[in-house]
Amino acid sequence: MQYFPLGLIGHDAAAAIVVNGRLVATAAEERFTRHKHGFNLAGRTLLPRRAIQYCLDEARCDWSQVDVVAHYCRFTREGVVARLRRVGAGLPPRLYGILEAEYGAAFCDRLAPTIVREELERIADRPIAPERFDSVPHHLAHAAGAFYSSDVPDALCVTLDGYGEEESALWARGVEGRLEPLGSILLPTSLGALYQIVTTFLGFRTFGDEYKTMGLAAYGDPDRFADVFAEMLSEEADGTWSTAALCRPDLGAWLEDRLGPIERPGTRSARSADVAAALQAATERAVLRLLRCLRERYGATNLCLGGGVALNACLNGRIVQSGMFDRVFVQPAAADDGAALGAALYAHARRDPRGGLEPIGHAFWGPMYSDTQIEDALRQASDVAWGRVPSIEARTAKLLADGGIVGWYQGRMEAGPRALGARSILATPTSAVVRDRINALVKGREPFRPFAPSVTAEDAHRYFHIPDDTAAPFMVVTYPVRERFRSRLEGVVHVDGSARVQVVRQAQAPRYHRLLCEFAALTGLPVLLNTSFNRAGEPIVCTPADAVQCFLRSGLDALVMGDYLIRRRNGAPELR
């Protein structure tokens, strides 16, 4: 049974700082602590002390200069009680008592706004006046992060995730700088929780492996278990859905009875692929139905998406391909690591609704390190040989064209879970052999999961079916690969003929754009395989030292940081 515990509230903690309506910095705590999802060694969530300090440093200010502190949850005692009554309905008294105790302890120890403010005061080492502290409801923070990050002046904003205070989804209207909540879906119904539960049933990690299920879905038959998911995700008359089946006390046994046992948990099999396909199809059907209803109800022609479910790139692809909306914007840090940004943007807009907020424009809002810091990290590593290389983009392109796998570390770190050419592992997109080598030796991940392509903006429409007015800079939407290029781009084309595309513009990522152009000059392809610079189970690298250590522990052929080319001192000969 899904109890919707409060213990995980605060996962993927992050910080952001907005100055005069302009985002200056945002980053997730996990990048600094090197613990995935921001948990500490005991598995508890923490406020993002290191990410906060980074943001202050980037803005060149201290706590005394901060006008407002915003937090992306607003728990109240009454709301916790209401959540408990809905989630715990039908529980036997003993289990209800256990859940009631967990909820009460979580609220009193960590989640009450006064407790959060006191914890932040300890981090700041100074008092924070109550009038300067905003507790922004969780899904409203997601909606604000999507709407105010975009350049869409009038939009329907929809958020979907596991759960916030009491909701699992919210829709709002953003117009002329104002965001008005219109409706929500309350727990225990939760599309995000359903996806998480089925992911766990398939043998993947309980938390954070939903993207594996999405990748597996393309190998399966969605019809085989369609009737089971029609029970678990039933349609409501108002266009929403119900996941009441999650509340049955024998959920695990019921799933195994209806779906059958997963013979090899955590791997691809015919049964696991069919289960994943049915889940993905049910998710897409439910969300598209809701969006159609909301579009008709409110007359919105543009859509902004936030919340963890908005990172489902296949779902986003279906939304774009439906033609339902003129423009679709997906926040690049759509999950909880982007909620701090949403809270900050909402707090600014609430106090200065006419002051305006600048669209974020790109995702490069994390820390950047100087050449001196890069050299210091390299001198600390005895196992590497390195040197500064002129025309580093051309040299790197040659390595990639010759089949090399390169760690690419440039400029400010990306916000969100996708590597977009600042903290990336790159390779040729033309070779299934290279793709499989990355999976096995570099990333240590499941072979059924696809890699994503980066392509220059000038050539994107030649290789991919992308609508003419779609920017696609964040790698959060899948698009069909044009038939004539699918065999040549076999390293980045999924089994269903799609790819999670990043379109690279010279104005947003000049060095990465130059690299793509240099690779095109050698191969005729302005496309690269791009995956995040990390090993399985680790956060994306942040510092130069993180990059060096990941390079040494993985099967990368070379590391490029700034203008520096790095190799193992006694490694393989240089690719030519």
Q: Catalytic residue positions?
A: 11
- Phi, psi for 39 (deg, rounded to 5): -75, 155
434 in Cβ contact with 575 (< 8 Å): no
Question: How far from each other are the two terminal CA atoms of the chain, in whole angstroms?
Answer: 57
The total number of residues shown for the chain amounts to 576
Dihedral over alpha carbons 365, 366, 372, 375 (to 10 degrees): -130
Please tell me the distance from the alpha carbon of residue 198 to that of residue 205, in angstroms, as a whole number: 11
CB atoms near residue 154 (< 10 Å)? 12
Note whether 275 and 225 are within 8 A (CB): yes
- Per-residue burial over 255-271, b if 16 or more Cβ lie within 10 Å, else e, is beeebeebeeeeebbeb
- Residue 571 has what DSSP assignment? S
Chain centroid, CA 347 distance in Å: 23
DSSP 305-349: EESGGGG-HHHHHHHHHHT--SEEEE-TT-SGGGHHHHHHHHHHH
Is the CB of residue 366 less than 8 Å from the CB of residue 414? yes
Residue 356 phi/psi, 5-degree rounding, is: 85, 145
Do the Cβ atoms of 396 and 380 come closer than 8 Å?
Answer: no
Note whether 472 and 501 are within 8 A (CB): yes
Q: What is the CA radius of gyration of the chain?
A: 23
Alpha helix ranges (H) inside 166-250: 191-201, 210-217, 226-232
Q: Using the 8-state DSSP alphabet, how is residue 454 labeled?
A: E
Q: How far is CA 277 from CA 212, 215, 342, 470, in A?
A: 12, 9, 32, 27
Question: Is the bond preceding residue 188 a cis peptide, omega within 30 degrees?
Answer: yes
CA angle 283, 304, 211 (to 5 degrees): 40
310 vs 91: CA distance, rounded Å: 31
Q: How far is it, in rounded angstroms, from Cα 388 to Cα 562?
A: 9
